[in-house]
Amino acid sequence: MEFDFLRPLDNEILEIIKGFSSQQLGSKVVFHTAEEFPDLNQVSLAIIGVLENRGDANRTQEVDLTHIRKELYGLFPGNWNTSIADLGDIVEGNSISDTHFALRKVVSSLIKKKIIPIVIGGSQDLTYALYRAYDDLEQMVNLVSIDSQFDFGKESESISASSYLTKIIIEEPNNLFNYSNVGYQTYNNSQEEIDLIDKLFFEGYRLGEISNNIALAEPVFRDADLVSLDLTSVQSAASGNFTSFIPNGFSGKEICALSRYAGISDKVSLFGVFNHNNSKQESVLIAQIIWYFIEGYQYRSNEYPFGSRENYIKYIIPLEEELVFFKSNKTDRWWIEIPFISTSNNKLKKSSLLPCSYEEYLGACNQEIPERWWKAQRKNIV
């Protein structure tokens, strides 16, 4: 059975959690222990550790998630009624591909049960295994990566934390509909890589662009299935990562806001945090990132709008092509329609709604076609 890949939590961390008060998060979570595996019928979110970082060329030690769990379960929950389980860890396999196989099977089973896995790694090549977990679900996947670089590599190169995206793009079955990078830093990426993102009609948002207006990222997460967060996208001043000094990156406040956007998205079904450097300082930040994801999940509005549109105001903008916008009466959030073109070989089998911002609606009123809409339409028919 796929859950046999999961190792229960050590008694050491369980004893620490037992010492927390009844008001702290540790008392609200059910744990995979040597004696008992949680009843998944009662679970909405599942935390999984993956003790695999061989994909990181700079690894200096094995993954240790003890400090993260200690910090996370010592926090106080909000006014939550979400049921959370910690299912323990997937340990290193004989090879990286063995670990990827185990992770894929565990995650796929959880998503089928409508449980959202929160995966703590390990190196970011584990994102490839998370992407492959959707193969069994037979759906197109939107991947959002919070990262300072695009992680392209040579086709012949073995998979690693800095090259996994190439494998996702070229390998069959190709279920990737969209890739969005939030927070890339130009000097960490070659011009060829930046041009390739445009040629594939993917989306890249520079660090300064998001830091200046973090709300720009919300529609991107609203359309994501899988969110992969690379901790090297955070500046060292916020993360405490001085093993490899990172002068520029997201602040602690910004990375937690992005995590909350991921949690609040009705569509996100999988969240991963990767490239932890094992320091106690960074563990504090990771605990808060996960806390904000859970906080966001708690406030999901359940308005993923592919059913009834009665609760939406429809706006039609006559341009060269008619643009159709929808605004939610419930949350004031905006969507734009991607039309179904019957004469083309569409990846999407019906017209669908793409999350957008109010600013994009205003731009359309001024005869500006939203770039995200144009890219989504091109991806759909290419």
Q: Would you say residue 1 has pLDDT above 80?
A: no
Using 50, 70 and 90 to split pLDDT, how confident is the model at 55?
A: very high
Structure-token pair, residue 255: 């990375």
Mean residue pLDDT across the chain: 92
- Region of 75 on the Ramachandran plot (φ > 0 left; ψ -120 to 50 alpha; else beta): beta
Among residues 142, 122, 123, 91, which one has the least CA distance to residue 270? Answer: 142
Residue corresponding to tokens 């966001």:
296
Q: What is the DSSP letter of 250?
A: B
Do 50 and 103 form a contact (C-beta atoms < 8 A)? yes
pLDDT at 382: 60
**pLDDT attached to residue 365:** 96
Nearest C-alpha neighbor of 231 from the set 210, 205, 217, 250? 250
Distance in angstroms (rounded) separating the CA atoms of residues 148 and 247: 12
58 pLDDT more than 90: no
pLDDT digits (tens, 9 = 90+) for 232-277: 999 999 999 888 889 999 999 999 999 999 999 999 999 999 999 8
- Structural domains in the chain, CATH included, are 2-298 (3.40.800.10), 312-381 (no CATH)
What is the mean pLDDT of the segment spanning 316-330?
A: 91
Residue 203 pLDDT > 90, yes or no? yes
Mean pLDDT of 87-96: 96
CB-based contacts of 237, cutoff 8 Å, min separation 6: 251
With bands split at pLDDT 50, 70 and 90, how would you rate the model's confidence at 86? very high
Identify the residue with better confidence: 382 or 163. 163
Please report which confidence band the pLDDT of residue 148 belongs to, taking 50, 70 and 90 as the band edges: very high
What's the confidence (pLDDT) of residue 307? 53
Which residues, other chains included, contact 314 with Cβ-Cβ below 8 Å and sequence gap of 6+? 324, 325, 326
How high is the pLDDT of residue 348? 59
Which residues, including other chains, have CB under 8 Å from residue 223's CB and lie 6 or more apart? 142, 178, 265, 267, 354, 355
Name the one residue in this structure whose structure tokens are 């290193």: 92
pTM over 0.75: yes
pLDDT at 151 over 70: yes
Q: pLDDT band for 336, please (50, 70, 90 cuts).
A: very high
Tens-digit pLDDT profile for residues 271-301: 999 999 888 999 999 999 999 999 999 999 8
**Token pair in block for residue 319:** 């341009």
